[in-house]
């Protein structure tokens, strides 16, 4: 069983054995929070690997500087 599946199983057991009904929503929230953090880290790793972040635009991309564009618009 992989670690992600094992962690999900442990959280399910923790939720089922919570001491009281007030504790369950709090435990579920933090379990979801941990999942979201892990998914975000995985998404950032994939994005970095696949170079999906756009590079900064330069004047060459637009064919003119931003200042000359603003002057032309006014």
Q: What is the tens place of the pLDDT at every residue in 8-67?
A: 667 666 666 666 667 778 788 888 999 999 999 998 888 877 766 666 666 666 666 667
Q: pLDDT: is 16 or 71 the higher one? A: 71
In total, how many domains does the chain have?
1
Residue-number span of the structural domain to which 40 is assigned: 3-73
Q: How far is 33 from 39, CA to CA, in rounded Å?
A: 10
Q: Which of 62, 42, 43, 61 is closest to 53 using CA atoms?
A: 43
- Give me the pLDDT at residue 59, please: 61
55, HSE (Cβ side, Cα atoms, 13 Å):
6
């Amino acid at each position: 069983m992989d670690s992600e599946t094992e962690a999900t199983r442990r959280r399910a057991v923790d939720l089922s054995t919570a001491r009281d009904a007030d504790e369950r929503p709090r435990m579920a929230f933090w379990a979801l929070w941990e999942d979201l953090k892990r998914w975000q880290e995985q998404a950032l790793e994939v994005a970095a690997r696949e170079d999906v972040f756009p590079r900064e635009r330069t004047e060459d991309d637009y064919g003119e500087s931003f200042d000359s564009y603003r002057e032309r618009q006014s």
